[in-house]
Structures are given as structure tokens and as C-alpha cells.
Chain A
């Protein structure tokens, strides 16, 4: 059974940093592109970033480029999101999601999400 479990969320002040993790199980982790997607309060889903199975292809939404860094450790079946220079607008539930293949494919498995709150 495919499982994705996010952790690392919390409450912090603007300008702070946070590292989210997503532990994966039940599939060959290095064969799939992984994504982070967020849902801000009262807003819709926003795609944040993706990283290909072996890591060479990385993409970001304009809203986080230069502040967030996506990475993965295939040996530990883990996905990460390093979030720096956090803003109030980054407050959201952050979901880890797996594509159906390694790139250019829909998101068919999602974690339960971890909450990030940025407030002064």
C-alpha cells in the first residue's frame, strides 16, 4: 500500500525557516516524480515544486522560487522542502504528492498534509 506521511510543520514568524519531510513507503520511491502542493486558508490548491525520480529535474512555482528548495533522499525514501524567508502568505497545509510516473503525469497519491503557520 502506498503511504505518504508529511511532518515538520509548525508555527513561526515571518522571515523564518522550516524544513518539511515526507516519508514514503509501498512503492519504488526513485521511480516517481514527487511534488509539494499547498492549500492556504480560504484559497485553492497551489502547486509548489516537483523533483524527478533521480533528482536532475527540479521545478518551482514563481511564488516560492529562490526561497524554497525541494530535495529527496532515495536511500531513505524521503522527500523534503526547505522553506526560507517565510512570509505570512506561505501559511497553508502542505501536501506531499506522488505522480503516476516519472514526470509529466497526474498526482494520484497524496499525504494527509502538514500545517505551516507564519504569523508575527
Chain B
């Protein structure tokens, strides 16, 4: 099983600041099949980025993904109030999918 480790566990920033979230894999992810999801309290997760760097339909361009192999990054260029949530990375390059433990993005 591919183990995904996200850092940091919690990120405290202010609206308008830039957020950088990391996701490391225990082995190289096939085809860079890595996705990022946002989950707000009480709601289902929402797909933000797939294939490491492609924005899902309707996702604002302040969200961007990068990386390959074992190291991936989600960047939010200028934080909006609605961006404060929990973010998860997920790999779907091996048949047993896995999620990272999540990064909570909180208002400073």
C-alpha cells in the first residue's frame, strides 16, 4: 500500500496569504495519479486537483497543484475566507487507493 504523508498537520494563515501544502508518498505514484480534495465541516469532500496538476471543473485558478513521483504540492495563491478547511491528498495510481492524513488550514 502507498502511504501518503501530508505536512503540516495544521497551517495557520490569514486571508490574502499564500498557502503551501505538501504530500509525500512512500513510493512513486504511477502516472502521477494524485488528487487533492477540500472538505469543509459537515460537507462531503470536493475534488480540487487531479493528475497532480489539473484543476477540476469549476475550481478557482488560485488553486494549483504540482509535483511528480513521490513529492506533491497544493498551492493556494491568495486565501479567501471559504478556503479555510481540511485538505487531503489521495493516490489512485495503485488499485488500493489511499489518502493522506489531512492538513487543516485554519484562520490565524
Contact = CB atoms under 8 A, between A and B. Distances in A.
Given A62-B1, A95-B45, A106-B50, A44 B92 contact: no
A35 B99 CA distance: 13
Contacts of B75: none
A59 B96 contact: yes
Contact of A106 (B31, B35, B86, B95): B35
A95 B90 contact: no
B99 A61 contact: no
Given A104-B33, A106-B92, A110-B44, A50 B97 contact: yes
A120 interface: no
Contacts of B51: 106
Interface in B1-17: 1
Contacts of B98: 47, 61
Given A45-B102, A100-B50, A61 B96 contact: yes
Interface residues of B, number: 26
Contacts of B46: 110
A44 B102 contact: yes
A45 B47 contact: no
Nearest to B46: A110
A112 B1 CA distance: 27
Interface string B26-69: 00000101010101000011110011000010000000000000
Given A35-B97, A105-B50, 13 more contacts: A37-B99, A39-B39, A44-B100, A47-B90, A47-B96, A47-B99, A62-B96, A97-B45, A104-B95, A106-B47, A106-B90, A107-B90, A108-B50
24 contacts: A37-B45, A39-B39, A44-B86, A44-B99, A44-B100, A44-B101, A45-B45, A45-B90, A45-B99, A47-B97, A50-B95, A50-B97, A60-B96, A61-B96, A62-B96, A95-B44, A99-B92, A100-B50, A105-B92, A106-B33, A106-B35, A106-B50, A107-B45, A108-B50
